[in-house]
Amino acid sequence: MSRQVSDEAPDWWRDAVLYHVYVRSFADSDGDGVGDLPGLTGRLDHLSWLGVNAIWLSPTSVSPDADFGYDVSDYRRVQPSLGGDVALDALIATAHERGIRVLLDLVPNHTSVEHSWFVEARAGRGAPRRDWYVWADGRGAAPPNNWLSDFRERGLPRSAWTFDPPSGQWYLSSFLPEQVDLNWRNPAVRDEFFDILASWFARGADGVRVDVAHKLVVDDRLRDNPSLHPDDDPVSRQRGQRQLMNAERPELHDILRSWRRLADSLDPPRLLLGETYVGAVERLAPFYGAGDELQLALNIPFLRTPLTAAAMRTTVDATLAALPPRAWPLWCGSSHDDGHLASRWCGGDQALARCALLLLLTLRGTPLLYYGDEIGMTDVEVPANRRRDRGGRRDPARTPMQWSAQPGGGFTRPGVTPWLPLGDCTRNSVAGQRADPHSTLCLCHDLLAARADRDELRRGEMTWLASPEGVLAWRRGTAHAIAVNLTDGLVEVSGISGRVVVATDGGRAGESLPGRTLLAPRSGLLADLG
Ligand code: GLC
């Protein structure tokens, strides 16, 4: 690993701004309409300029792409259509030269049906790798229990079990039938993944994002899940039942601890960021363990909080209160499963998107941007005949990065049809926003620069300041304050005297604040106090 990244503090991730690249949608270097690793390498200039410290790549292992990389058929090789092994090594080396760390997406809960392990397991009840997966007899003609897949079929709930006619048994498939759940009670599976993880770290990965970390290990007796209660959290309601028997099982923590021991044993230590798709912040805490499991856990309740001052303050406070003392929060408002924050939180309003980004980038914790967030990119409507996602309605969240107004949007060559339709690049693109110092892009750049320059913006305590209804104001450490007006009216905020560092409505940087300041509708600022 190059010096540029290894010289930093071991817990670099507390100071970092992370950036999630959905590789298929970032940059297409070979003109097949699908983004790839050389394309991403070619765009590292943008990420360096923006100031991100680490990128997390959507899955890069070999996959038949039933769920676009989340169905792996070989964990040890890189998907040829993304550029193969050579391209991943080149990306890691180039990113490291620029001081950008690289996190890979590990998908341990399930493999593709095409993985050689499953091909072997499927050969019959006595097959050598049979117990690498979760098999069970049905209840008569019905599946073994009532567990539901996280993916619906034509909008309707589907069993998490798939029938395998030759053996007369059912296999667990918590997502698509082509994604087969591994049996994490089997020590051979644990050993294999420990080795895969070690090999990824040896090749230069600075960490991993652990897909569906909350679902590893299911009940050993395969008991039914209880039905919903009226006061259940939104994630459970979406799943259609309480996932007590096939998610958040206490046994999974043992696995996370073993990976953390491996991550901590290396120099520099590696990062484990988990997809912990749970419905309440209190249930995130266990994933941090006693500082010996995940370093960062995805906060879905925050992502799902509406962008109002009262709701955001409640979720932020609940998160900070719920996490164990040394645990560090992770904040994001967008994902490839849920959509871009400019749409989800802001209904496409750019002024609000700038407020959301100011909030995300100045809370106490590590922010995670999704590609396109930096230009306030919105989800794009995808006509029925161009939909690709079988797991839900997630295509609009995954349309190509809008680089420029050129044909192909700077994503692919002119004349090539991208795998998902491009949004309107004449109205919103990286190139267009680079030219405007008051753009969302330049705001993000300036906020990242402000974070890099000010220790307290990264590590300082967070203290709420009194503010009018609909406004959030807080201090970071002793020397910085942030105020965000999420209302449609002009408001006056008191108690902030100093100088504006960055403001969402351009032109205010450098302004001195006398202790009372007016904030235009849907606007905010970061100030140095004093
Ligand atoms: C995670 C991923 C999602 C994928 C699913 C199954 O939730 O974020 O995109 O479809 O796991 O692997």
The structural domains of the chain, with segments of one domain joined by +, span: 110-181, 187-271, 459-529
CA distance readout (Å), 3 to 217, 266, 411: 38, 15, 31
CA distance linking residue 328 with residue 147, whole number of Å: 33
Q: Give DSSP secondary structure letters for 487-528.
A: SSS-EEEEEEEEEEEEESSTT-TT-EEEEEEEE-TTEEEEEE
Please work out whether the CB of residue 70 comes within 6 Å of at least one atom of ligand 1: yes
Is residue 211 annotated as part of the catalytic site, yes or no?
A: yes
Pick the CATH number of 459-529 from 3.40.50.620, 2.60.40.1180, 3.40.50.720, 3.40.1440.60: 2.60.40.1180
Q: Cα–Cα distances in Å, from 111 out to 67, 69, 114, 183, 458?
A: 11, 10, 8, 11, 38
- Catalytic member of 71, 181, 206, 211: 211
65 lines ligand 1 (CB under 6 A): no
Q: Which two tokens stand for residue 483?
A: 């105020």
Ligand 1 centroid from CA 212, angstroms: 7
Strands 462-464 and 366-370: unpaired
User: Do 110-181 and 459-529 come out as alike in CATH topology?
Assistant: no
CA 1 to chain centre: 25
Query: How many Cα neighbours within 13 Å face the side chain of 434?
Result: 12
Cβ-proximal residues to 487 (8 Å cutoff; 6+ apart), any chain: 469, 470, 471, 521, 522
Residue 5 has pLDDT above 70, yes or no: no
- pLDDT tens digit string along 341-362? 999 999 999 999 999 999 999 9
Active site residue 131: no
**Predicted confidence (pLDDT) per residue in 159-202, tens digit:** 999 999 999 999 999 999 999 999 999 999 999 999 999 999 99
Is the predicted pLDDT of residue 291 greater than 50, yes or no?
yes
Q: Which atom number of ligand 1 is nearest to the Cα of residue 70?
A: 12
Distance (Å, whole) CA 471 – CA 286: 32
Q: Whose CA is nearest to atom 2 of ligand 1?
A: 211
How far apart CA 324 and CA 410 sit, in angstroms, is 44
pTM: 0.97
Q: Which residue has the tokens 């792996």?
A: 72
In terms of Cα–Cα distance, which of 23, 196, 178, 59 is closest to 111?
178
Which residue, 361, 351, 367, is CA-closest to 482? 361
* CATH code of domain 110-181: 3.90.400.10
Average pLDDT score over the chain: 96
Interval 293-336: pLDDT, tens: 999 999 999 999 999 999 999 999 999 999 998 999 999 999 99
Calculate how far, in angstroms, residue 150's C-alpha sits from the geometric centre of ligand 1: 9
